[in-house]
Amino acid sequence: MKKKKLLDPQIVRKRTELMMERQLGELEKFFGEFERYNDQYYAWLKSGQSLNIRYYEDSKFMSKVFSTRITLELEDIVMETSWKARLSFRGVKTISRLVWRADKKGAQDRIHFLNEWEEFNDQLLPLCQRLDLITIELDYAKDANRLLVSILPYAGSYVWIKLPPAYCDIPLKPFEAETIYEIVSLFIREFGQYQGLQTV
């Protein structure tokens, strides 16, 4: 009976909602209140940007991983062309270097600029060392003059193992929420029209 209960999709959904509530509680200390729209949550920052948080699902053969995606939307960003980039990390025992990679062809000049932007990467590196990250993704749309900055941490994730039935929570810790705040502030400061975030 217990195994059957652990396999109940409604139980899984309820647990993901509880996990989201827990991490929103930590993030709201820095970003203010989030409002729910369907399966996503939005905060409107004093700097004028919006911050979106949601789960994205990665299905395996005998498990599902619900990972957190936190997306900052920067508007009125004017660049020559659309491009996408994804952050990867270098280092043996700890992260010692950041490397930006293009998600599609045609953005090599922008990727080269990102990798050569030492002042920005030197500020981002210690934040990535403090936070266990899957990656950071950048998606610039020229037609909308909009840059999406997606932060994908391991913290805040939720794993459902089907056989043997089990759950595994990876809660977001207070210092990790603060680090996410600092990463968001850095991108606003360097890419946006507003110099820094105000603590709510």
In the DSSP assignment, the letter for residue 93 is: S
How many angstroms separate the CA atoms of 156 and 192, rounded? 27
How many angstroms separate the CA atoms of 21 and 38, rounded? 14
pLDDT band at residue 1, thresholds of 50, 70 and 90? very low
Helices (H), 33-117: 108-116
Mean pLDDT, the chain, integer: 85
* Residues 50-63 pLDDT 10s: 999 999 887 766 77
CB 84 within 8 A of CB 139: yes
Q: Looking at 89-93, 99-103, 142-146, 148-152, which range is the least confident one? A: 89-93
pLDDT for 198 equals 43
So where are the chain's domains? 2-191
CB 106 within 8 A of CB 83: yes
Query: Which residue bears the tokens 């805040």?
Result: 156
pLDDT band at residue 106, thresholds of 50, 70 and 90? low
How many angstroms separate the CA atoms of 95 and 158, rounded? 24
Query: Which residue bears the tokens 């999406």?
Result: 148
Residue 35 one-letter amino acid: E
Query: Which residue bears the tokens 């911050």?
Result: 51
How many angstroms separate the CA atoms of 136 and 159, rounded? 21
Instruction: Say if residue 194's pLDDT is above 50.
Output: no
Instruction: Say if residue 6's pLDDT is above 70.
Output: no
pLDDT band at residue 180, thresholds of 50, 70 and 90? very high
- pTM, two decimals, is 0.87
* Residues 127-178 pLDDT 10s: 999 999 999 999 999 999 999 999 999 998 888 777 777 778 889 999 999 9
